[in-house]
Amino acid sequence: MATVSRRGALVGGAGGAAALSLSANAGASAPQPGQALAADTPLVSLSDYEAAAQKRLSPAAWAYFSGGSADEITLRHNREALDRLRLKPRALVDVTKIDTSVTLLGQKLPHPILLAPISSHLLAHPDAEVATAKGAGLAQAILVASTVSNRSIEDIRQAASQPVWFQLYVGDDRGAVKALIQRAEAAGCKALCITADNPLAYARNREERTKAIQPQLPFPNLGITAGPGGRGQSRRHFNWADLEWIRSFSKTPIVLKGLINPDDADEAAKRGVDAMVVSNHGGRVLDTGPASIEALPLVADRVAGRVPILFDSGVRRGTDIVKALAHGASAVLIGRPYVYGLSVGGPEGVQRVVEILRTELEGAMALTGKTRITDIDRSVLWPGA
Ligand SMILES: Cc1cc2nc3c(=O)[nH]c(=O)nc-3n(C[C@H](O)[C@H](O)[C@H](O)COP(=O)(O)O)c2cc1C
């Protein structure tokens, strides 16, 4: 196995999460990924973390984390479609108190930001998902731990002080799937987040180009060693009958992740999933499909409140969260941004990324005149948005 160095360690550590800054060269105030910044420039936005992470990660790790599928049209579209939506400002509302708490699957959370399942955190930090779990604790965020983590689900759970959900890839071997679910449940995971949108790796060209320099990583949940992302087992078989089978014995709520087509969402609601995630896997599955935010209102209309809906793919600002909640989401997940936080600042970097987003969410709520999450509805969207 290639070694992964501790390049993702704390920068400017003494001041803690609030003092994270970039040790690089001179630059400007609104950086793009890869753009150089002065060493003492504070990291104040998620794009700052992205730019800082690009400098720290190996080329193979950067290609793995940042890439999408094929021509990355859907990857770009996730951001463009969120940016295109306009919010409607609201004046003269008393916004002294803003409450970002939400209740999800019966649990009260201080904010609606979850950490999406992402594989291969060892590329970003030597303590891999154990460091992420600590960061999730600091951020008071639910971590959805990937099947293809570099640390076992037991180790991740042990490091966590906030609830952990287990993301499940349903491989073709039912015995292995059942054993994994039972391990996750025994470890104390609070939900099973079953990924529906990724039966195979479709044209991951950016990753493929770095194949020769990819390290081999351990994937203890599957008992394999492989390149970033794992992919030791076939999961092409997974269908609705398998979902029914899992429901027949699993003890934890089921969250179905990766729905874009309203017909699929309708089917999932009929089959009694406990929640669903509208997601296109951060633009890593079907390229030229719609942006996740374009699918969200269609799915929400079709599901019509039967099942809570979560949203991911492209969330980078507090305003993005308001837009997702306006279109029917109960909460959002972030993927790449917290991994960039992990790479730049370890657990405190994860914490800082969530804090930035949460602060922005409060600001965006205040400026749209909403003081509680449940008050956010389509009235915050500018007509035609
Ligand atoms: C590098 C990478 C690895 C991922 N690994 C998984 C995974 O193991 N399981 C899964 O369900 N989703 C996985 N996803 C998808 C994320 O859970 C999430 O849907 C996506 O990252 C959200 O988009 P964002 O990165 O723009 O926030 C991965 C995404 C990335 C970028």
In a domain, 27, yes or no: no
Tens digit of each residue's pLDDT (9 = 90 or more) over 333-361 = 999 999 999 999 999 999 999 999 999 99
Q: Is the pLDDT of residue 162 over 80?
A: yes
Residue 49 has, within 13 A of its CA and on its CB side, a CA count of: 35
In a domain, 85, yes or no: no
Q: Which atom of ligand 1 is nearest to the CA of 280?
A: 19
Ligand 1 center to 89 CA (angstroms): 32
Q: Is the pLDDT of residue 5 over 80?
A: no
Using most ligand atoms within 8 A of CB, pick from 69, 284, 311 the residue to mutate for ligand 1: 284
The active-site residue, picked from 77, 111, 125, 281, is 281
Tens digit of each residue's pLDDT (9 = 90 or more) over 277-333 = 999 999 999 999 999 999 999 999 999 999 999 999 999 999 999 999 999 999 999
In a domain, 72, yes or no: no
| Mean pLDDT computed over 257-275 | 98
In a domain, 327, yes or no: yes
Q: Model-level pTM greater than 0.85?
A: yes
In a domain, 269, yes or no: yes
Q: Output the residue whose Cα is nearest ligand 1's atom 21.
A: 335
313 CB within 6 A, ligand 1: yes
Instruction: Indicate if 125 belongs to the active site.
Output: no
Cβ(287)–Cβ(73) under 8 Å?
yes
pLDDT at 366: 98
In the chain, where do the E strands start and end?
Answer: 102-104, 107-109, 113-115, 143-145, 164-168, 191-195, 217-219, 224-226, 254-259, 275-278, 309-311, 331-334
In a domain, 163, yes or no: yes
In a domain, 362, yes or no: yes
Q: By residue range, what is the domain housing residue 117? A: 102-380
Number of domains in the chain: 1
Which CATH number does the domain housing residue 201 bear? Answer: 3.20.20.70
Of 327, 247, 255, 241, the C-alpha closest to 291 is: 327
Which amino acid belongs to residue 260?
I
In a domain, 180, yes or no: yes
Ligand 1 center to 41 CA (angstroms): 29
Distance (Å) of CA 173 to CA 169, 180, 198, 237, 250: 11, 11, 16, 9, 16
148 CB within 6 A, ligand 1: yes
